[in-house]
A and B are shown apart, each in its own frame.
Chain A
């Protein structure tokens, strides 16, 4: 289980505290007003931001001081998820090992996963030749190949249209979500959370709250969430 233990984050004047567990085998959505610290929390989980105090744990392992590449964590950013000068196969293959020449069995695995995300035959293309949706699929293929137990999604599909975005979220659920994987996704769209997430963590007022089941939190949203959703005045 991915765990934030008395975590205190500081970035300039901004602070955030978090003390919660992210359940395994589920998608947890981070929601809250913009600037509340959703991406900051994700940066800390991924290892890009050192916490002031507290610990980040996965099962019993302390990740707090482990460099990003050595954590059991994959991440997808809002943009720049693919290296423009590398082919789709090379980009996806980086999930297997961070080298450009893979062994033949590894290459076969890359081709298999590319097919799984609907990119069969795109191996030799460059990211620039692909549409936005296809680029997202390629990045997803890399995360699948990395086979790490935690996946962080920092709004990687935000730039896609609603139809494509739903398609991608369904693909994430179908391919990435396994019983022993923890998926944390930042979103500002309640529909995304309802569609893909079993739990919602509300990030607001300098605090990341404990996860709550998606259905119940939207049924009776706390005041902050209600304000954010624009239903508070009703």
Chain B
């Protein structure tokens, strides 16, 4: 017998969280639209920024997806020691502070990096990482793992029976199974990465710049920080929003929860073995490309860690505070929204995916500027924006558990006379400890490594660790920068680990 939907509903905390998300996404957008100087129209530099933004995102997404296909294929059909660890690590770049990865890449491909050292030793001309190809390379570094995981899921989703059937028919696995699967999976991976690369400010800030390699977000930053041209910054923010909104509309239906989901231990049993050495070569190359920059950070950062400037430690303390506030806020909002449920929550849950931190930041700047010195609000705004940007991921993690707990127990709780608050505290929260810890850890790590809004707002007194690290890099203090990078990396991963572990401990499922 089908049960009628009877639910204990807790509405207003969800409504409050929803209102905050709407204010930060649509509200700031309104401020941007209001202040934008539409009359002057777009300058040639603006067109160049739009063109660069789109082209680098297209190239990054295309290269990431294409390189991911052989890697995913090799992982799908080979079994070797460390395979599951490698697959787990493919999820790690999501938690990796962008600025740390960029510094790692600089240590290999930069002016005085390993590659140029080797080239000079061979008497060959040097290689410059700055500009279009540098931005694309950093994006591939970040998104190749994501693309690999998305495509690997496609491979593992092919039922084993199909491989058996294909083998017994003596048919081509590629034609019958793999090509159709890729046709279904690869465009999704491409689009998700395209959207991510449209809004990747820190990479453009560090590796781009100049008239030929400026993204729209970088142009916003420059208009706000250097020219203090609020109208132009607002106009650019409007453009950036339109870019993101167009891309997000296309991505709308694609699952983002897949980015970090597990369950990929299965190896596909198949009968067309192919060349094992080629697969292992592909896997090794990818593993080296992905791990070498991080190894460099650890290697060069350890000595730098000892004599870090005091200001860096203060920045670290600020970052930890911001990350903790952001994690609490994000998980609180996610629980409130998931408890509320419904169509409005579904929209609120994806809205931040289409938002760009820089656009929200510009809007917030425009709203705060007339009232107070934006630098003073820097840390608060950063925590708010980080919590909002991490919300979709936390919500995706929490929703299934909360829905199940509600479905299983709301009648029993109602018949026992539970009010909504007591139901949430005593029944729901203990049931979703694991996803809650995971979501909070994710929010903390993302906030810890964020170099976006903070760059728009902060003075010296509000410097966070990523910003301090960026400034050290700008001053060519590479030793200290590497030390700060190692610290940042350690803190981000530790925060995630602590929250995630806290959720797992004593969890009764």
Contacts and interface: CB of A to CB of B under 8 A. Distances in A.
Interface of A: 11-12, 34-35, 37-40, 43, 46-49, 67-71, 73-75, 77, 80-81, 83-86, 94-95, 98-100, 126, 128, 146
Residue among A37, A85, A99, A100 facing the most chain B CB atoms (10 A cut-off): A85
B121 interface: no
Contacts, number: 73
A125 to B, nearest CB: 12
Given A84-B508, A100-B426, A49 B415 contact: no
Interface stretch (B2-10, B164-172, B300-308): B2-10
Interface in B1-55: 1-4, 6
Q: Which of B411, B418, B422: most chain A CB closer than 10 A?
A: B411
Contacts of B509: 84
Across the A-B interface, give the 4 residue pairs with the lowest CB-CB distance, nearest first.
A69-B417, A85-B508, A68-B414, A39-B1
B409 A80 contact: yes
A77 B412 contact: yes
Contact of B6 (A37, A38, A49, A84): A49
27 contacts: A11-B2, A12-B2, A43-B4, A43-B6, A47-B414, A48-B6, A49-B6, A68-B411, A68-B417, A69-B414, A69-B415, A69-B418, A74-B415, A75-B411, A75-B412, A77-B411, A80-B409, A81-B412, A83-B412, A84-B508, A85-B430, A86-B430, A95-B416, A98-B416, A98-B418, A98-B426, A128-B508
A12 to B, nearest CB: 7
A94 B413 CA distance: 9
A74 B409 CA distance: 14
A98 B431 contact: no
B408 interface: yes
A43 B427 contact: no
Contacts of B412: 75, 77, 80-81, 83
> Main SS of the interface on chain B?
helix
Given A38-B1, A85-B431, A98-B426, 19 more contacts: A11-B2, A37-B1, A43-B3, A43-B6, A47-B415, A48-B3, A48-B4, A48-B6, A67-B414, A69-B416, A69-B417, A70-B417, A77-B412, A83-B409, A84-B431, A84-B509, A94-B416, A98-B417, A128-B508
B323 to A, nearest CB: 28
A70 B409 CA distance: 17
Interface of B: 1-4, 6, 408-409, 411-418, 422, 426-427, 430-431, 508-509
B409 A40 contact: no
B427 A46 contact: no
B436 to A, nearest CB: 13
B420 to A, nearest CB: 11
B198 to A, nearest CB: 42
Nearest to A49: B4
A35 B1 contact: yes
Contacts of B3: 39, 43, 48
Contacts of B1: 34-35, 37-40
- Chain A interface main SS type: loop
A34 B409 CA distance: 24
A41 B3 CA distance: 11
Contacts of A47: 414-415
A206 to B, nearest CB: 14
B6 to A, nearest CB: 4
B2 A126 contact: no
A77 B412 CA distance: 8
B401 to A, nearest CB: 12
A70 B417 CA distance: 6
Contacts of A40: 1
A81 to B, nearest CB: 7
Contacts of B418: 69, 98
Contacts of A84: 431, 508-509
B415 A46 contact: yes
A11 B411 CA distance: 17
A77 B422 CA distance: 21
Contacts of B413: 98
Most central of A68, A69, A71, A73 by chain B CB within 10 Å: A68
A80 B4 contact: no
Contacts of A35: 1
B431 A48 contact: no
A95 B415 CA distance: 10
A172 B84 CA distance: 52
Nearest to B414: A68
Given A35-B1, A40-B1, A48 B508 contact: no
Best-surrounded residue of B412, B422, B426 (most CB of chain A within 10 A): B412
Contacts of B411: 46, 48, 68, 75, 77
A46 B408 CA distance: 16
Contacts of A68: 6, 411, 414-415, 417
A59 B221 CA distance: 73
Contacts of B2: 11-12
A80 B406 CA distance: 11
A75 B509 CA distance: 24
A126 B416 contact: no
